[in-house]
A = this chain, B = another copy of it.
Amino acid sequence: MEPHVVVIGAGFGGLNAAKALARRPVRVTVLDRHNYHLFQPLLYQVATATLSPGDVASPIRWILRGAPNVRVLLGEAVSVDTAGRRVRLEDGSLLDYDFLIVATGSSHTYFGNDQWAPCAPGLKTLEDALEIRRRILLAFERAERETDQARRQELLTFVLVGGGPTGVELAGTLGEIARQTLRHEFRSIDPRRARIVLVEAGPAILPSFPRNLREAARTALHRLGVDVREGTAVTAIDQHGVTLGRERLAAGTVLWTAGVTASPLVRTLGAPLDRPGRVVVAPDLSVPGHPEVFVVGDAAAVLDRHGRPLPGVAPVAIQQARHAARTVLNRLRGRPGAAFVYRDKGNLAIIGRGAAIADLGWIRFSGVFAWLFWLFLHIVELIGFRSRLVVLVQWAVAYVTFQRSVRLITNVGRSDRSEPS
């Protein structure tokens, strides 16, 4: 029987590992706890009611349907027995492997303040996005019914903790929702009076970008009415707002986009981890002492040639996954593995309609051009023909009409009530 490669996780890493192994002389099993691949870069658009969950997610089986040597299993890996070469699933069953590619990604962390989680949800999963959408829309609905002025302004205040790309995207889009989308729909409140505060503990938002592009992003955010607070640490969060050192900010909605930590599964590999919990892998991305086990994407700590860790973005995960798959096939042919080298094609961030920044190394630009470039790249990359077409239509309509059509407050839990208060 052909060697068995188990791939854990079907994000950008896992999916590309499986694709690189399709129709090759191996048996592949892709394990994921969801039945879909999530196109993370557009997840904030689900959270802000522009896209539906189905527009940013495709069934893993469907993506891999053409590869007869690839099997897809819905299930969750709870631990890896590297000595016995097997993965334990949530129901206790075991999956033997000859090679293992771990691509389980990361989740958000509250840096030891887990009590903040219910007050300030993060954005990693589809469920997170729907919960954030629900909170944003409910805040305006409750403000419309509220008669107390102070409480109304609290409901109309939104705080985003963390000035990375996700925080900037969410802040910009929230500005658009308040100023454009909802403008004519309320009778007691003026949605344009909503206050949006982006808080960054470090000295500047978007730290991975050069100074002039950061400045362009700041200007675009101000134009959307976003209050940007840099060098400001959040010291407490509760359900009525945040504390910033000595200042208290009453806010009905707080969103968390500040920190990530590697998936807990990698702790069971018995390999050295860095501070955010990522596996410190060998140059060929294998686990030290286990040449048959690879870690790729957000769960791996890999340094660039300047000694800085590679960012947790899709291109890194995709290139690493292809490298790991190639190394597996080389080993089977008795060839040695090579060291992984990241080809950085650039850095992009979107602020809102017509506003983005792009740093391609040889050229830096911002504004409408950067935004069109962002749009083009993301449509091309979106997996699945149908998604691409539908997303295009939806965006076209959204940008022409200022509408956000997926403004549904859907309830979580099997209940007929939408819990309006």
Contacts and interface: CB of A to CB of B under 8 A. Distances in A.
A386 B408 contact: no
A204 to B, nearest CB: 31
Contact of A90 (B384, B405, B420): B420
Interface stretch (A181-189, A195-203, A302-310): A181-189
Interface in A84-109: 90-91, 107
A390 interface: yes
Interface in A133-174: 137-138, 141-142, 144-145
Interface stretch (A5-13, A121-129, A329-337, A339-347): A121-129
A403 interface: yes
Interface stretch (A73-81, A221-229, A288-296): A73-81
Interface stretch (A316-324, A352-360, A411-419): A411-419
Given A54-B405, A386-B401, A127 B410 contact: yes
Nearest to A52: B52
Given A65-B185, A74-B420, A127 B411 contact: yes
A19 B128 CA distance: 35
Nearest to A27: B187
Contact of A409 (B35, B121, B389, B403): B35
A418 B185 contact: no
A72 to B, nearest CB: 8
A34 B418 contact: yes
Contacts of A420: 33, 74-76, 90
Nearest to A62: B185
A182 B62 CA distance: 8
A260 interface: no
A35 B71 contact: no
Contacts of A91: 421
B393 A389 contact: yes
Contacts of A76: 417, 420
A132 to B, nearest CB: 11
A53 B410 contact: yes
Contacts of A365: none
Given A53-B410, A405-B58, A73 B416 contact: no
Interface residues on A, range: 35 or more
A121 B187 CA distance: 38
A414 B417 contact: no
A22 interface: no
Nearest to A46: B54
A261 interface: no
A76 to B, nearest CB: 6
Contacts of A236: none
A40 interface: no
A131 interface: yes
Contacts of A144: 73-74
A298 interface: no
A232 interface: no
Contact of A35 (B55, B137, B405): B137
A110 interface: no
Contact of A408 (B36, B137, B184, B187): B36
A397 interface: yes
A57 B137 CA distance: 15
A75 B403 contact: no
Interface of A: 33-36, 52-55, 57-59, 61-62, 65-66, 68, 71-76, 90-91, 107, 121, 124-128, 130-131, 137-138, 141-142, 144-145, 182, 184-188, 384-387, 389-390, 393-394, 397-398, 401, 403, 405-418, 420-421
15 contacts: A33-B417, A36-B408, A54-B406, A58-B405, A59-B185, A61-B182, A62-B403, A74-B141, A74-B144, A128-B414, A131-B414, A384-B405, A386-B403, A390-B393, A412-B414
Given A36-B407, A389-B393, 11 more contacts: A54-B408, A59-B407, A61-B185, A71-B187, A74-B141, A384-B405, A386-B394, A386-B397, A390-B394, A390-B397, A412-B414
